[in-house]
Structure 1
């Protein structure tokens, strides 16, 4: 048996029109998808369709006839909510690619995994160990910034599940381009934060991107969430730009988590749109063999 796991994300720190096309910066959290690859009869299911497609792609990538993959059985154990903007599918695909390459006796790079993933669907940058600006549609642009900041977050899980593929069919290029100047400002602030290891600046950049995305996928109460969390000492707020989760970015010494949770649970917009609040930590990205 070969096993691999890959972390989820809590949306993106930044996503939008950057340097002439759509790009994003995701970050990884300590919530995982685990895949197990064994020889045996394949069990087809809708939840594994993309993963089996990835197995075939890895075989083809290494010039091994894909028909030989029919003798492989894949099982998945995922703790990542589906359709909320937490990179559940990307985590499944990245872990599957790594496990399949290992089965073939190959060492596959994260850039190679990224290239294979975007052939199947839009891909989050949690496939990379470092925090990364990534062309999630074509895979044509990759810029690494180093390891994730050592921050914490409260994840507000939305009630709505969004099909990313269907969402992508909405014609939104014009709106994305209109929001471009805001995204450039966000990216500049983010890169300043990376240089100085200032998590607060990175979180402020995420807040700018979150608000810019209101013109694309509106989140009821987002402005109030930002105001309340920052009043409680949080550094900023990020969102899933094509999903329903919201991340409250903070450091323990500044953020009154207990007061924030107590207050937000009484807000009508929270009761209507969110089903839970969970605490996570930022972790290194990328799929790993276990």
Structure 2
């Protein structure tokens, strides 16, 4: 009996997001929180899947002309530790993992770009399916620019109260002035330099600038405070859910004064404003697949 296990990371929102060369785009920030899917031979239970994930099953079956009868022999199980409606890519992790898992189960080839295209056919999506970073059109699934590397660092994530449905969160170039568009080009250049030179300081600075630019679209009440606290206590910069509620502070464990940061944070941000604080790790993206014969 075949069994496929899939592990797909969530994100702390996006390192950067805006409009570049006439297209909406982002660079997701994968973290060590995961959507985990198991696909095995057994009694079909498609009905247990979330609606978007079921849509992805249908999309993969159509794309590869898989006989409908096969659905009666697919048994799914899914668990996730990615918070929903926070801008942490919970939906993308589910649907990207499902596409990758089904293709592994049926022995089909599907590269990350094709997974990205399938995902954006269902909803605006993050580009966590790529191991290496790129500038990704989250509406069309096209890759605008490749970056030569990945990011690995620690991140403290504040899960602020509330939630955003990214399906209904619209974005258009009208949201950005000509000055904003020029600023984002500079942000992309700085981010690209940081990745190329492996400078977390440059990467963090670009992330912070993108977070500030995004305030015109979706204001985060305590962003300025967190930017200041990050600077004061050795953080590298802020990473936000541009269409979500989370704010993360990047740091290198050796330089960050975590206890002092948290003490100062609690003096500035009331406990009623946030649900939880997570300690995670920024990691390379990509979907991990294990295929077994049991």
Alignment TM-score, normalising by the size of structure 2: 0.92
- Give the match's secondary structure for 1:44: helix
Q: Which residue does 1:176 correspond to in 2?
A: 176
- Equivalent residue for 2:85? 83
Counterpart residue number, 2:124: 122
Unaligned runs of 5+ in 2: none
1:250 Cα deviation after fit? 1.1
Q: Matches of 2:14 and 2:229 in 1, distance apart?
A: 20
Instruction: Write the distance in 1 (CA, Å) between the matches of 2:271 and 2:214.
Output: 22
Matched residues in 2 for 1:264 and 1:70: separation? 52
Contact kept in structure 2, 1:31 and 1:80, CA below 8 Å: yes
Partner of 1:210: 211
Do the aligned residues in 2 keep the contact of 1:55 with 1:97 (CA within 8 Å)?
yes
Match of 1:188 in 2: 189
Runs of 4+ off more than 3 Å: 65-68
Whole-angstrom distance in 1 between the partners of 2:10 and 2:206? 21
Secondary structure, in 3 states, of the residue corresponding to 1:101?
helix
Q: How does 1:137-156 map to 2 (within 5 A)?
A: 137-156=139-158
Q: Measure how far apart 1:232 and its partner are.
A: 0.6
Aligned-pair CA distance for 1:286? 1.3
> Offset of 1:164 from its aligned partner?
0.4
Cα distance in structure 1, aligned partners of 2:221 and 2:72: 46
Name the SS of the counterpart of 2:139 in structure 1. coil
> Aligned equivalents of 1:146 and 1:77: distance in 2?
32
- 1:1-290 to structure 2, matched below 5 A, reads 1-38=3-40, 39-45=42-48, 48-66=50-68, 68-168=70-170, 172-178=172-178, 179-268=180-269, 270-290=270-290
How many residue pairs end up in the alignment? 286
Offset, 1:147: 3.6
How far did residue 252 of structure 1 move? 1.5
Deviations 1:157-198, CA, capped at 9 Å, x for gaps = 111111001122xx6531234421221111111111122111
Structure 1 stretch displaced more, 137-146 or 87-96: 137-146
Q: Secondary structure at the match of 2:211?
A: helix
Distance apart, 1:236 and its partner CA: 0.8
Secondary structure in 1 matching 2:225? helix
Contact 1:148 1:282 in 2 (8 A): no
Q: Indicate if the aligned counterparts of 1:226 and 1:236 stay in contact, CA closer than 8 A.
A: yes
Question: CA offset at residue 71 of structure 1?
Answer: 3.5
Please provide the CA RMSD for this pair: 1.6
Superposed CA deviations along residues 52-85 of structure 1, whole A, max 9, x for unmatched, are: 2111211221122345324423221000000000
SS of residue in 1 equivalent to 2:36 = strand
* CA distance, structure 1, for counterparts of residue 36 and residue 215 of structure 2: 33
- Decide whether the 8 Å contact of 2:225 with 2:268 is kept in 1: no
User: Unmatched 5+ residue regions in structure 1?
Assistant: none
Q: Name the CA distance, whole Å, in 1 between partners of 2:177 and 2:23.
A: 9
- So what's the TM-score if we normalise by structure 1? 0.93
Deviation sequence 1:229-280 (CA, Å, 0-9, x none): 1111111111100000111011122211110011112224x53432211111
